[in-house]
Amino acid sequence: MSVLDVGCGTGAITVCIARAVGGEGLVVGLDRDAGMIDLAREQHSGETNLRFEVGDALDLVSKESFDVVAAARTLQWVSNPGLAVSGMANLTKSGGRVVVLDYNHGQNRWEPEAPAEFLAFYSAFLKWRADNGWDNEMGDHLPAMFEEAGLLEVESQEADQVAECGSAGFAEKVELWPRVIENIGIKLIEAEYIDEDLLHSARIRFEDFAAHTLKTQVLAMKSVVGRKA
């Protein structure tokens, strides 16, 4: 089986796909960020059925076609996701599948409610995303894009990532937000969506909340699959 993973990042998921398909298969990870591809190549050089390439989801061209073309958490960062889905469908063999996993950022939730400073940061994050043309309900909008691309038997499933306090992986899952604040916060300050004081207090208050109060975090996601005619 051959698989193309669009927006593979450092290849953490791609390498699992390569191991699942086995030595007879071929897996290609693609990302527009050359630095990510360098890291992916470095970290997964031992896999003989796996290669990584630099490329853009909005300009998918290949001499090869694949049994499965997948994208996990990539289209949330693409301003024309319908074009990407159509490109993914074009690279899929007849009878093969397009599979996309993505967020509905507008539906993420914390129980009990997250601190006001973090929610103010989060609301600025959603506005900044929307102003940049990135869909905050990407998961829910995928099925229509699959239909538009001519894919058949389109099915959508809830794939929420739920972190329950006390369960395995809780700390890693809630660590996402301090990382987002650190990596993306500077862009929100530069674009004047927030100031440094809010960024700082959002981080401190969220870390304290995650360590002492947070019971459940739900990151709303959908996984959508469609068949190429």
Contact between 54 and ligand SAM by CB under 6 A: the answer reads: no
C-alpha span between 142 and 81 (Å, rounded): 8
Q: Which of 32, 41, 51, 93 binds ligand SAM (CB under 6 A)?
A: 32
| In the complex, least distance from residue 84 CB atom to ligand SAM, rounded to whole angstroms | 7
102 is a contact residue toward ligand SAM (CB under 6 A): no
Does 36 interact with ligand SAM (rule: CB under 6 A)? yes
Closest CB 9 distance from ligand SAM, rounded Å: 3
| Residues 6+ positions from 90 with CB-CB distance below 8 Å | 60
The 3-state DSSP class for residue 66 equals strand
**Residue 136 near residue 105 (C-beta atoms within 8 A):** yes
Binding flag, residue 56, ligand SAM (CB under 6 A): yes
Question: Residues 2, 3, 4, 9: which binds ligand SAM (CB under 6 A)?
Answer: 9
Q: Which of 69, 72, 89, 202 binds ligand SAM (CB under 6 A)?
A: 72
Among 3, 4, 8, 210, indicate the residue that binds ligand SAM (CB under 6 A).
Answer: 8
Q: Which two tokens stand for residue 183?
A: 């990596």
Residue 113's CB is within 10 A of a number of other CB atoms, namely: 11
Q: Quick one: which of 33, 47, 137, 164 contacts ligand SAM (CB under 6 A)?
A: 33
- Minimum CB distance to ligand SAM, residue 5 (Å): 7
Spatial distance between the Cα atoms of 78 and 171, rounded to a whole number of angstroms? 29
Considering the rule CB under 6 A, would residue 60 count as an interface residue with ligand SAM? no
Q: Which residues of 55-90 are buried (b: 16+ CB within 10 A; e: fewer)?
A: bebeebeeeeebbbbbbbbbbbbbeebbbbbbbbbb
Q: Which chain residues interact with ligand SAM by CB under 6 A?
A: 7-9, 12-13, 31-33, 36, 56-58, 72-74, 77-78
